[in-house]
Every structure is written in C-alpha cells, then in structure tokens.
Structure 1
Amino acid sequence: MVQGTASSVGKSLVAAALCRIFSREGLRVAPFKSQNMSNNAAALPDGREIGRAQHLQALAARVAPEAAMNPILLKPESDRRSQVVVMGKPWASLEGRDYYSRRAELWSCVQAAYRDLESRFDLIVIEGAGSPAEINLQATDMANMAVARLARAPVILVADIDPGGVFAQVVGTIALLPLEDRNRVKGIVINKFRGDMDLLKPGLEELEELTGVPVLGVIPMLPRLGLPDEDGATIAAATQAVVQGAAAQGKDRLDIAVIKLPHISNFDDFDPLAAEPGVRLRYVDDPLALGLPLAWLWEKGFGDGIRWLSRLGTHVVGLCGGFQMLGERVTDLGGVEGKPGISRGLGLLALETSLEDEKTVRPVSGWVSESAGGVLKPLAGVGVKGYEIHCGRTSPSPPRQVRQSSHGREAFPFTILETTQEPWPLAEPCPLAGKACFDGAQSEGGGVWGTYVHGIFASDEFRSAWLRGLGVEAKLFNAAAEVDKALDWLADAGFASLDMEALNGIVQISP
C-alpha cells in the first residue's frame, strides 16, 4: 500500500508507476483507493464514475477501470459538504460529521469492493489518502491504515522533499502511528528530489536509524508528463510553468484562459490543448488576468468581462457546467449543487438549464453536425469522443431559440451517440442511429459554443482542426497514446530509482 506524509506528495503517480512496473512482470494488477476526495472523475462504460487517479492507474496496469477500484468518491460541493458517490453512483450529499456517522455502511462497501478485486487479480496496488498520521481521524479512518489492516498489506511511505522538511515529515508521521500500524511501514520513498545525492545520503542514513525503516529510493523531480491530475492542487504550478515557458520561448501563441472556478472539476479536459506547441493555456481566478482595462475591472467582475471580450471577438467555449453557465439562467430549486434558487447565466447563449437529482454519466461519441457554424462549420463530419457527467437538462429558452441553420433546424453543433465505439463516420450507416441526439449550442456568429462532452479536445482530429480554424498550426497527435507513453516513462523512472529487489521482497514477488 502506498501512503504519504501529506496530500500532493506523489502517492497517485508512485502507485501508477508500480501498477505499470508489476504489470510488465506479467501480473494481473488492479489499483484500489477506498476513499478518494476529488472533483476529477472518469466516466465508465456502465454509467458509473470513479476518481481520475484510479482510472489512470487502471490504464497503467492495462486493465479495464471499474467502480470497485474506487468504491467511495467524495466530490466537494463546498468547504464542508461533499457529494458521496458509492460504487460509481451518487449516494448522498453530506457534511463531514454526517459522513462519519455512516461509517459502518460505507466501510462494508469498501470491504466488499476490496474482496471482489482480491479474488480476481494477482496484486492490488492500494493508494492511501492524505496522511495516516491525522490523529483526529484515526478512529474513523477508511482510507489509510484501516485499509492496510483489511488487506494485510505492507505500507510504503512517500514523502515530498521539494518544499523542505522531509525528515520531520517522515519521522513525525511514523511516530504518530500506533505500534501495530507503525510496524506495517516497510519502506520509505523520497519523491521530487533535485540536487546532489551525495549531500542527501547522510540524511537518509540517519533517517533509517531514527525510524528503523529502509529508504527504498529517491525519485527525482520529473517534468510535467501530461498525465491527468487528481485534483486542483497542481493548477497554480501548472499555470506558472506554462506562462514561464511561453515567456522563455518568446513566441506568439494562442492564449487560452480557463476560468478556475471554486471546486473546478475534470480540468484534464484541457491537457491536450496544453500539449499543443502553438497554445498558451493558463488557469485564471482573477479578472485582471484576462487583460481587461484596469479601471473597468475594479467595478466589474468575470461575468461582464467575459461578455465584453466576446463582443470584441474573443472565442468563448463552455464545457459541461461551463456550457450551462453560458446560458441565461440555471435553475436549482432542489438544491442539487448548493443553495436552492435561480442563478443568472452569462447570457451568451439562448439557453436555460434546470438541475435535477438524476445524474447523467455515460461515454459518448459522435461528430460535428452539418448545422454547426462559425469556426466549427468546416469541421462538419469530424468525429468526437468523450463522456458526460452532469446533473440537469439544458434547452432553448423561450421565446428566443438557438441560432437557426439554413435548413431551419436548431443548430446544435454536435450529434452524439451513447456508445463506447469509435466516432462513427458520416459516410457509413450508423447502427445506433436511433439513439442519436443533438448536443451543445452556438451563438449566431459561432464564436460562442458549448457542449456537455468532456474530453472533446482529446479527439485528435477535432482538436487540430478547431485550432487551425483559430490560426494555430496544430500538431496531430494521439492523446491516448501520449498518456500511455508517459506512463511508460513514469514506470521507467520509478524502476530506475527504487530498490526493486527490496520492493519485490516487501510485496513477496519472486524476481
């Protein structure tokens, strides 16, 4: 089991590396994280959802992701309340105190999911959450040592050396564990190191003496691999790196500003765009970062700023919740996503959305419709593929309608099929034509558009053609293949950095 001294120390990527390393040895490997708190989720073919990290780890293990790999997913709705997703389906919306009062129900689900995986796989790579040394939570733990005891699993403790204080992190974490749990820690991994190993070695030797636990390796600080992040903790660093990179190259690039909303979810939608050399992608949480007139900004906020930029010709795209916000209003009378009420939208699309308890979770594929306009018009027939995770329904707002096509039909820019198949070419008959539906909407000039399809920019032909329409010479690359290459690179780095003989001994795998 991979645990950490804190959040964001690299547990998820270390676990992903181990999944790929052991799968290369011919083992059938499954990832497992009993309880994950993240708004980044992946949709499964059966209509369920799991944390993005476990989905990535399943890809690393080269097995199909499933709900049992992340039986409890907490999706924050505020600082104190989360939607609780159990075995891939919404279960309740709870505050922390209420959540732990229902531990017995939730723990039985964790046990069943783990036992199910254990019966079907050779090795389970388990990831913990946060730190096992949160002494105020140890009695109600469902993510760290409680899982290690359930699985009878040895623990590897990961610590991040980059911010400093790594020795105190490790010693303090182990010291705060009960003796039984302390004895489960069989190895220490120092992560994100950059510097002179000769200067570090004396500290590692003393660390082993203080804890009685061997250091299994030191993993260097790795460049951004283009792998999906588990949550929003890395957004600030990613944006800084992108901005610095753009300045260093001194090139004009297409500037794409993603509004960093509170509790932003599934922002890995934009990773394929960030990988394009002609794109400067950044996350902004301050209207000043949009480059609007300073005096005007003091009295106006994001809403007026985005509308103003749209009138000036800036393209505006909304994905999922962003698509809903582009409309005129979002009605949430049942308090599905917060306080009941009606919220004013940006008014850039003649739409209104009504939020409902029932959640749509499904993989989809399709194509750009013939009725699409603006920059999407030349893309008619280009395939798209992704997934939907949303509550609510969006429809044209009376008495106005979405822009009319030349055929008089409402111009929905995408035709979508509920299917896991590859995007279906228009030139061939579609066996699922009866299940086709229209998705998204556009402004009259086509400069504003939105869709419910997450992952649309990972559709390589669509992304490249859309960017070319905006004047960017895009490179055509396979986003899924790039993720797989990055996982191989991650595993190679882990294999080179870790004492694999000692690790195999801990896991009890014969070389």
Structure 2
Amino acid sequence: MKGTHKALMVQGTTSDAGKSVLVAGLCRVLARKGINVAPFKSQNMALNSAVTKDGGEIGRAQAVQAFACGIEPSVDMNPILLKPNTDIGAQVIVQGKALQSMDAIDFHGYKKIAMPYVMDSFEKLSAQYDSIMIEGAGSPAEINLRENDIANMGFAEKADVPVIIVADIDRGGVFAHLYGTLALLSQSEQNRVVGFVINRFRGDIKLLESGLDWLEQKTGKPVIGVLPFLHGLNIEAEDAISAEQTLGANAKFTVFVPVVTRMSNHTDFDPLRLHPDIDFQYRAQGQSLQGADLIILPGTKSVRPDLEFLRKQGWDKDIERHLRFGGKLMGICGGYQMLGQCILDPLGLEGEAGESQALGYLRLHTILEPQKQLRQMQGWLTLPHQQTVTVTGYEIHAGRSETDDQQPIEWLEESPDSAQHSLKDGAISDCGQIFGSYLHGLFDEPEALTAILQWAGCEPLSQVIDTDQFKQQAIDRIADAIETHLDLNLLWPQLKT
C-alpha cells in the first residue's frame, strides 16, 4: 500500500472487544492531524443500520466512524451487511442494496462471490482517501469460518494490510485471548500482526506490567498500549442494546420500549436514554409495560414474528390498559406497522407467507414488498396542540403502508425521489393518544424531541440534549485516550505527534 498511513486493520479476540470504538478513535486521531481518512468494514452483521445520502444501507458503526472522520458515509465503507431475520438466516445487503435472504450455510458458500465486491469497494476508498481504518468482524480465530473469509485475515491477506489485535480485559482472560488468537493464525497471518491493544483496563497499570512483558516475550509482538475503561462513554452501539442512561435525581417522565427479538435501529432512543429528565427503560421478556407515561414500539427486522412475540409476552394487554388510563403510545417503523389493522407478507419476505392481524389502533394497512425503502428525509412534524417543528432522519423499511388517519409529518418537496414517494408520513389516532411514523431519528432534533414529549404529557424539560455534540465528545474522549495511552509511533513512525 502506498502512503505512510495508508491502511490499518483492527481485529478483535472476541465480538465486542472494542474494534468499532478503536477504529472510530483512530479515525479521529488521523483526521485531527489533517489526514484524509475513511473507515471500512468488509462484512458487518447488525440490525442497527444507517442510510447513506444516495439511498444505500450500511452498518451504523461505519456511519459513526465516518462521522469521526468528518466525512459523509458511503456504501463502500461497508460493502457486505448481514441483517439477521432468524437464528440461522439473514438478509444479505451488497454495496448498499438488499440482495436476498440466506441461511448461514448458503452465505458461507456465497463469500467467494462477495469478495470481488469487497475488494471493489476497498479499492475505491483507497483511491479516494490517504488512509483507510479497517474493522474486522468477530474474531480471526474462528477456525470454522476461516475458509473463504472476507471479514478478517482472509481480507487482510487479499488486501495486504497490517493488523492489530484488540482484547477486552474487563471480560477477563485477556492474555489467553491474545496469545491463543495469535497461535491459531497461519504463519503468514501472524507475520501480518504488528501488535496488541488491551482495552477497558481499570486499576494500577503497574499490576499489569509483568503480564505485558510475558506476552511480548512469548509472542514477539509489542503491546501498543493499554486503553483505560472510559466510564459514561455514550457512542452509538454497533448492535448490542445499551441500557446505560443519564438519569437525574428528579426524572419527571417514564418511557418504556419493549425489546422484541429482531429489534432494529435502537439508536433511535439514545436522545431519550441520555436525557436526565427521562426515566428510560428497555423492557425485556417477562417484564410488564405497566407504569410508563409513554410506550414506544421499536423497529424490527421481522415485524410479523415480533408482533406474535409481543402478544405472547402479554404486552398487548399492557398497552390496552396503558391507553385506558390515558397513557400515550408510539410506534417507529416496524412498531408503526404493528399499530395498524393488518400486515400482509404475500411473498414470505420475513418468514412464512401470510397475513397478521395488527393491534388495530390506527387505520393503517401494510403490505411487505421486495423493494426496500431507503432514504434520508427532512420535513415538519405537527402534533395536536403543539407547534410545527422540523424533523430529520431516515427511512429504512420493506413495507408500503396506506392510512386514512391524519398524517402529522410533511416532507420537504425537494426530498429524494419525491415523485415516487408520498409527501406525508405517519398517522395519529382520532383520540390523539397514538402516533406512529416510519422515520428513524425522530428524536434527534431537540425541538422535535420536546414537541413529542409535550404531546405525551411531559412537563417542560430542564435542558436541551444535542445528540451530535454527545457523539463528538465521545469520539474525542476515545481519540484523547488513544493519543495518551497508545504508542502510535509503532503504527506510524512518521506520524507527527
């Protein structure tokens, strides 16, 4: 690869070892130094996705990493995205567009076909940017998945890029993780590893030094650094749901979100989860929805199976009771579809073909279609007794819905492909208690968040939450920790510090 900082790949000993966060931080470090840098992840598996300006779909982690670089995300930053719709199957998205659903065995064979798309996207980015920060997936030591690998060392060998391996010491067993991972690699793959990073360390580093010395002696690889555990780090998760919240002593409003089996785009709720005035709670299987001021049904990759799951939990009965007592109810994307009269899947796109009776709160009828709706949107939201406010976000759904209810969102006419797209979105019930929309990111605009909460009965908020500012601060904290605790000269000897 040409250029001092051309490419570096971060692989992990396990899932959630810190790869996504480390790549975001390295992107910010290089961007601070004036280097034109972009993120890349060849294969991602996540239900938490983002929409690019040109209407493509990528993993949200790469959108966050692009944000860290100060650039717009593109489909080439994540050419293969897998969105699980069963325990053994997933929708396969190639360079931003949904291809088909495959089970794990079929996709394992498809990887030979996928590699040219991966390399095409990587080469496009390499021609456009001075540096590429690459994220692996899972662990390179998953020997049962090594054949035709496009996510870890298979890609690193094909693209000829150096690799660092990160491990999470907070899980325990960090030296076994690092030593064992390296030992399971081939000799050429081991030669590609330039060092280790230990993540999420708490305590006195002196107690760790003997272990670091042992690891370097046994492997012949340097420990590039030990990153501290960063408490209260609020950065959008790649897939795992974060229940951490900023709860003030005088939280004045309670919001419940039931966690369904294929919940998607849970980052919709970060502005609520992080607000000190809001008691925000994800409600898991076996937990009641009683006691909330506002219940929000989230997006889901498998709306009909998750509607059945919701009923099996008795959450439909909790919702009925909630509404009888005057509570407010919302639905976003798949949750919006659940609020309607029926959901039809004639082609079996999300499982067995058929029709499901929905919850019946909105005059909404939905049919699932092969062509996914993907677009960034901006418009105005008008709720009962509230001023009209600006909303921004994105749509990402495989359903077309028609409603006879009032539609509270009106899009700007210059929105993408407006000729093929309704200029209105959402529905609100005649009683004014129930509101649904396809728009992800509905709470991101502070004025929209305030209007929705006031509609739901919340008292005026004590402060305004700027989610972009939260993300900037979180990424800066990671970058600061990297510059303080990692020996970047081991990665980039000519990098000016």
TM-score where L is the length of structure 1: 0.87
Q: Does the Cα contact within 8 Å between 1:364 and 1:419 map onto a contact in 2? A: no
Q: Tell me the equivalent position of 2:409.
A: 414
Q: Tell me the equivalent position of 1:312.
A: 325
Q: In structure 2, what is the Cα distance between the partners aligned to 1:196 and 1:270?
A: 36
Q: In structure 2, what is the Cα distance between the partners aligned to 1:290 and 1:509?
A: 53
Tell me the amino acid that sits aligned with residue 151 of structure 2.
A
Query: SS at 1:124's partner residue?
Result: strand
Residue 471 of structure 1, aligned match among 445, 458, 464: 458
Q: Tell me the equivalent position of 2:43.
A: 35
Query: SS at 1:188's partner residue?
Result: strand
Q: Tell me the equivalent position of 1:408.
A: none
Q: In structure 2, what is the Cα distance between the partners aligned to 1:312 and 1:186?
A: 61
Tell me the amino acid that sits aligned with residue 258 of structure 1.
V
Q: Does the Cα contact within 8 Å between 1:83 and 1:94 map onto a contact in 2? A: yes
Q: Tell me the equivalent position of 1:392.
A: 399
Shift of 1:491: 0.9
Provide runs of 4+ in structure 1 moved above 4 Å. Answer: 297-300, 418-421, 432-436, 508-511
Q: In structure 2, what is the Cα distance between the partners aligned to 1:106 and 1:84?
A: 10
Q: In structure 2, what is the Cα distance between the partners aligned to 1:84 and 1:29?
A: 27
Shift of 1:503: 2.4
Q: Count how many residue pairs are aligned between Structure 1 and Structure 2.
A: 469
Q: In structure 2, what is the Cα distance between the partners aligned to 1:276 and 1:510?
A: 39
1:454 aligns with 2:440: yes
- Structure 1 residues 311, 300: closer, same or farther in 2, change over 3 A? farther
Q: In structure 2, what is the Cα distance between the partners aligned to 1:260 and 1:127?
A: 28
5+ residue gaps, structure 1, are 403-410, 422-431
Q: Tell me the equivalent position of 1:358.
A: 371
Query: SS at 1:456's partner residue?
Result: coil
Q: In structure 1, what is the Cα distance between the partners aligned to 2:411 and 2:108?
A: 40
Q: In structure 2, what is the Cα distance between the partners aligned to 1:126 and 1:222?
A: 22
Over residues 76-132 of structure 1, what are the superposed CA-to-partner deviations in whole Å (9 max), with x where a residue is unaligned? 011111000000000111011111222222111011111111111111100000000
1:487 aligns with 2:475: yes
Q: Tell me the equivalent position of 1:265.
A: 264
Q: In structure 1, what is the Cα distance between the partners aligned to 2:72 and 2:32?
A: 16
Q: In structure 1, what is the Cα distance between the partners aligned to 2:421 and 2:172?
A: 55
Q: Does the Cα contact within 8 Å between 2:288 and 2:315 map onto a contact in 1? A: no
Over residues 301-320 of structure 1, what are the superposed CA-to-partner deviations in whole Å (9 max), with x where a residue is unaligned? 11222222122222111000
- Structure 1 residues 298, 96: closer, same or farther in 2, change over 3 A? closer
Query: SS at 2:170's partner residue?
Result: coil
Query: SS at 1:283's partner residue?
Result: strand
Q: In structure 1, what is the Cα distance between the partners aligned to 2:320 and 2:413?
A: 33
My pick for the range that moved more, 6-15 or 150-159, is 150-159
1:256 aligns with 2:255: yes
Shift of 1:250: 4.6
Shift of 1:509: 4.2
Alignment of 1:364-379 (within 5 A): 364-369=377-382, 372-373=383-384, 377-379=385-387
Question: Structure 1 or 2: larger helix share?
Answer: 1
- Structure 1 residues 182, 361: closer, same or farther in 2, change over 3 A? same
Alignment of 1:432-443 (within 5 A): 437-443=423-429
Over residues 55-77 of structure 1, what are the superposed CA-to-partner deviations in whole Å (9 max), with x where a residue is unaligned? 11011111221001100000001
Q: Tell me the equivalent position of 1:140.
A: 148
Tell me the amino acid that sits aligned with residue 493 of structure 1.
A
Residue 502 of structure 1, aligned match among 483, 490, 494: 490
Tell me the amino acid that sits aligned with residue 363 of structure 2.
A
Q: Tell me the equivalent position of 1:341.
A: 354
- Structure 1 residues 418, 82: closer, same or farther in 2, change over 3 A? farther
Alignment of 1:167-316 (within 5 A): 167-232=175-240, 235=241, 238-239=242-243, 241-242=244-245, 246=247, 250-291=249-290, 301-316=314-329
Q: In structure 1, what is the Cα distance between the partners aligned to 2:348 and 2:420?
A: 34
5+ residue gaps, structure 2, are 1-8, 292-309
Over residues 27-81 of structure 1, what are the superposed CA-to-partner deviations in whole Å (9 max), with x where a residue is unaligned? 1101010000001111111111110000110111112210011000000011111
Give the alignment's Cα RMSD to 1 decimal: 2.2
- Structure 1 residues 33, 434: closer, same or farther in 2, change over 3 A? closer
Shift of 1:287: 4.7
Over residues 281-331 of structure 1, what are the superposed CA-to-partner deviations in whole Å (9 max), with x where a residue is unaligned? 121123534247xxxx99971122222212222211100000001112111
Q: In structure 1, what is the Cα distance between the partners aligned to 2:312 and 2:194?
A: 57
Alignment of 1:45-124 (within 5 A): 45-124=53-132
Residue 321 of structure 1, aligned match among 325, 334, 338: 334
Q: Tell me the equivalent position of 1:406.
A: none
Over residues 335-383 of structure 1, what are the superposed CA-to-partner deviations in whole Å (9 max), with x where a residue is unaligned? 11122111221112121211111110000010024xx42xxx313x211
Tell me the amino acid that sits aligned with residue 444 of structure 1.
D
TM-score where L is the length of structure 2: 0.90
